[in-house]
Amino acid sequence: MIVQELRKIQDRCKGYLPVEELHALSARTGTPLHRLHEVITFFPHFRLEPPPAVEVRVCRDMACHLRNAGRLERNLKAFAAELDGKQVHVEGVSCLGQCDHAPALVINDHVYWDVDEATLRDRIARALADPDSLPHQHADRSPPGWRIDPYNGEPRYEQIRKFVETRDGDAVLKTLEASGLKGMGGAGFPTHRKWAAVRAEAGPTKYVVCNADESEPGTFKDRELMRRAPHLLVEGMALAGLVTGAAHGYVYIRHEFEEEIEAMERAIEAARAAGLCGDRILGSDLSFPLEVFVSPGNYICGEESALLEAMEDRRAEPRNKPPFPVQAGLYGKPTVINNVETLSWVPAILAHGGEWYKSQGVRGATGLRFVSISGDVNQPGVYEVPFGQTVRELIDQAGGMRDGQQLKAIAPSGPSSGFLPAQARREALPPRFVADHMAADASTFDVLDLPLDSATLGKAGSMLGAAFVAYGDKACMVDNALNCTEFFRNESCGKCVPCRLGSQKLTDLLRSIAAGRDGKGGLSAVGELSETMMLTSICGLGQVAANPLTSLMRHFRDELDEHVERGRCPAGVCRAG
């Protein structure tokens, strides 16, 4: 795979891809140089010139933005200028997946979190003097005692052993169907149906791909699962491969997750050594080789077809559908694509039964899930919770609101969902939600009472995803909508015009509003722009990019009008203040 070869070259050549190395790779693989450059220029992780001696990238999205990442970036830029502006470069970067430890940053590919500014300055100075002196920050790898792990941290792989004995793929699919397990990456497609579709496809070559890219701001649950319970993902993928008859499996993981990459590689090697994956599993005629594919970056790689394009050594631009991956996925072959959490639930469901999993939900919902909660809460982190849990229960689980703040808004699925206010006005909510969840005489709905399940969030005009971000009453929603829109603009692959131009127009409009300039004319066109992007963008990025602004217009009109009509930021955050 060319992408992996480029990564090895860049690691060996101290952070860039020398011309002579590219010529050698081209000759060795028979790949034209222009094809190599097509890939290199798409991914910001790849460099054609030597990097500065010290490169600092400060996360700028959602939770880090709330925790003053912008001020940290400005301060470190000033410090870099004092040291040596040519040798020390500081810039912002899209979400690093450390939202529970905001603000986070990278110094020469070392990810740091929960470190004060004085210590960061010292590390930057040390890196300038000796690039090899930077310490590596380690995260907790201890088993957390979650219900998802039937082995309590001991990788026994009982379900693989059982399958090798029974060869009963039908039983596996029936148990998954009984559980109601759906994809936990956002789409919510029934897992048993996806596996059954690939199983039914003809031909000897099929694949299983785990989407562990996890680049959505506010999302970091898969990171914890891979680092603290990697054996569950190995077993889940192996079972998917054995049930569907797949020839090979890949864990597609973002390059910033160094510890998670190491944890997965160790778990795969241990399973292989024990005969639980690879060739002739447990001495049988069954085989399922499994390996890690390290992504060169970009949020768009979380879209399944863009991910496949990257694995096939092309620019990670989404494909038109159909065909869908279950018919024509990796290398045009039938492919199961699930995310980390979905696959990791499989061993527990097979161990305890489908009804066990289904019965774990509350308030009429079914199943368990993992939530990444960050923002203005005291204990941001990853929590294993039942579907149907309320916003109040989740925030209480995360230690309540920090600094004595009151809840102002939530983003129940990161930037993709837009925002819901703590008190939602009746007229701003969809009629179906009002009919099902509000009393006849109620003028507002308390979002703390909102059950966190896909059906209810859909009725409320939002969506349920892996990321939950809480905003306190000190936040400016115009400022945070701009932050979300800038993320989509930065991460648009640029393939389709509606997304490429539309995300820039949304960003320009919100910047104008935040700066206290007239935004009336632009706001009048947002509805049409949003609808156009939703209907004509190739993938989900363009389809949801307007949600932060449209939700602002629906639920935070008074705050928006303060900026537009009076050029004033009530929170004193924007330049309009």
Q: Are 510 and 485 in contact (CB under 8 A)?
A: yes
What DSSP assignment string belongs to 52-83? Answer: PSEEEEEE-STHHHHTTHHHHHHHHHHHHHHH
Residues in the chain: 577
| 447-451-453-459 Cα dihedral, nearest 10 degrees | -50
Q: For residue 478, give both structure tokens.
A: 């115009």
**If you average pLDDT over every residue of the chain, what do you get?**
95
Averaged pLDDT, 469-488: 97
Helix, strand, coil % (nearest 5) of the chain? 50, 15, 35
The answer to pTM > 0.85 is yes
What is the structure's pLDDT at 577? 52
Query: What is the distance between the alpha carbons of residues 174 and 50, in angstroms, rounded to a whole number?
Result: 54
Residue 535, Cβ density class (10 Å: 0-12 exposed, 13-18 middle, ≥19 buried): exposed
Cα–Cα nearest to 216, from 468, 533, 493, 530: 468
DSSP character at residue 133: G
Strand partners, 207: 248, 335
Q: For residue 121, give both structure tokens.
A: 């300055």
Averaged pLDDT, 254-271: 96
Mapped onto helix, strand or coil, the DSSP state of residue 28 is: helix
Q: How many CA atoms lie within 13 A of 379 on its CB side?
A: 9
Q: Which amino acid is at 55?
A: E
Evaluated on CA atoms 404, 409, 412, 416, the torsion sign reads negative
Query: What is the distance between the alpha carbons of residues 513 and 567, in angstroms, rounded to a whole number?
Result: 8
The per-residue pLDDT for range 142-172, each reduced to its tens digit, is 988 999 999 999 999 999 999 999 999 999 9
Sequence-distant (6+) residues with CB within 8 A of 385 are 368, 369, 370, 371, 393, 394, 397, 452
The per-residue pLDDT for range 435-458, each reduced to its tens digit, is 999 999 999 999 999 999 989 999
Query: What is the distance between the alpha carbons of residues 509 and 549, in angstroms, rounded to a whole number?
Result: 10
What is the structure's pLDDT at 129? 92
What DSSP assignment string belongs to 456-506? Answer: HHHHTT----SEEEEEETT--HHHHHHHHHHHHHHH----SHHHHHHHHHH
Q: What pLDDT band is residue 349 in, cutting at 50, 70 and 90?
A: very high
Q: What are phi and psi of 409, to 5 degrees?
A: -160, 160
Query: What is the distance between the alpha carbons of residues 471 and 12, in angstroms, rounded to a whole number?
Result: 43
Of 291-295, 523-527, 531-535, the least confident: 523-527
Query: What is the distance between the alpha carbons of residues 74 and 91, in angstroms, rounded to a whole number?
Result: 9
Helix (H) or strand (E) holding 346: helix 340-352
Averaged pLDDT, 12-24: 96
Q: Are 308 and 329 in contact (CB under 8 A)?
A: yes
Residue 576 reports pLDDT greater than 80: no
Q: Are 539 and 503 in contact (CB under 8 A)?
A: no
Cα–Cα nearest to 478, from 533, 419, 559: 559
Per the listing, tokens 């579709």 go with 197
β-strand pairing of 467-472 with 368-375: parallel
Query: Residues of the chain with pLDDT > 70: what percent?
Result: 99
Q: Are 82 and 128 in contact (CB under 8 A)?
A: no
Cα–Cα nearest to 42, from 298, 255, 254: 298
Residue 203 reports pLDDT greater than 90: no
What are the distances in angstroms from CA 326 to CA 186, 193, 207?
A: 17, 10, 9
Helices (H), 180-257: 191-200, 221-228, 230-244
- The angle that helices 340-352 and 221-228 make with each other, rounded to 10 degrees, is 60
The per-residue pLDDT for range 302-341, each reduced to its tens digit, is 999 999 999 999 999 999 999 999 999 999 999 999 999 9
Residue 285 reports pLDDT greater than 70: yes
What is the structure's pLDDT at 46? 95
Q: Are 377 and 401 in contact (CB under 8 A)?
A: yes
Query: What is the distance between the alpha carbons of residues 356 and 349, in angstroms, rounded to a whole number?
Result: 7
Strand partners, 190: 182
Cα–Cα nearest to 394, from 408, 409, 382: 382
Residue 13, Cβ density class (10 Å: 0-12 exposed, 13-18 middle, ≥19 buried): middle
Q: Are 290 and 278 in contact (CB under 8 A)?
A: yes
Helix (H) or strand (E) holding 558: helix 557-566
Averaged pLDDT, 364-390: 96
The per-residue pLDDT for range 395-406, each reduced to its tens digit, is 999 999 999 999
